[in-house]
Amino acid sequence: MRKTPYMLVALAALLVGCAGPGTRLPPPPPATEAQIEKEMQVLQQSFFTDPCMDRLRQRASELKPGDRQLGIRALYAVEYAPNTQRRDGLAYRLHVQERGRVAYLYVSDGTAGSYRIYGPLPLWACLREQLP
């Protein structure tokens, strides 16, 4: 397949995320206790229902053991128990980093500590629209 300029522009727009092409996101606010609480509440309510976050999840790659991102410490984590919002029997845990509010999604099927990790998810592109 031959790449046209239109395809390259479309790919660039897709990579920018929810903010749209040419839009530079302001950095997330400082991670105060109040800010973290707001973010966690929004993520608990809308991570599986918001179209912007759905696009982030769909584009996320599965990470392999040894990927350097896996050793980065999370600012906070949000857990989703099995059969709550997704009703697929899987447990989800979202690890959010302070810098840029980038997250990694841990997915477990309940098999003795077995899980898959997807990311990075640039959550701030979606969160900034939903926070008061």
3-state secondary structure 23-84: CCCCCCCCCCHHHHHHHHHHHHHHCCCCHHHHHHHHHCEEECCCCHHHHCCCCEEEEECCCC
Euclidean distance between CA atoms 105 and 103, whole angstroms: 7
Q: Is the pLDDT confidence value at 2 over 50?
A: no
Share above pLDDT 70 across residues of the chain, in percent, rounded to a whole number = 73
Q: Find out whether 72 and 34 touch, Cβ atoms under 8 Å.
A: no
- C-alpha dihedral over 70, 76, 80, 85, to 10 degrees? -110
Euclidean distance between CA atoms 95 and 106, whole angstroms: 8
Q: Of 4-8, 24-28, 56-60, 118-122, which gets the smallest average pLDDT?
A: 4-8
What does the pLDDT look like over 103-125, one tens digit per residue?
A: 999 998 877 667 889 999 999 99
Which helix H or strand E contains 115, and what residues bound it?
A: strand 115-122
Q: Is the pLDDT confidence value at 132 over 80?
A: no
Domain layout of the chain by residue ranges: 25-130
What is the band of 8 on the pLDDT scale with cuts at 50, 70, 90?
very low
Instruction: Return the pLDDT at 57.
Output: 92
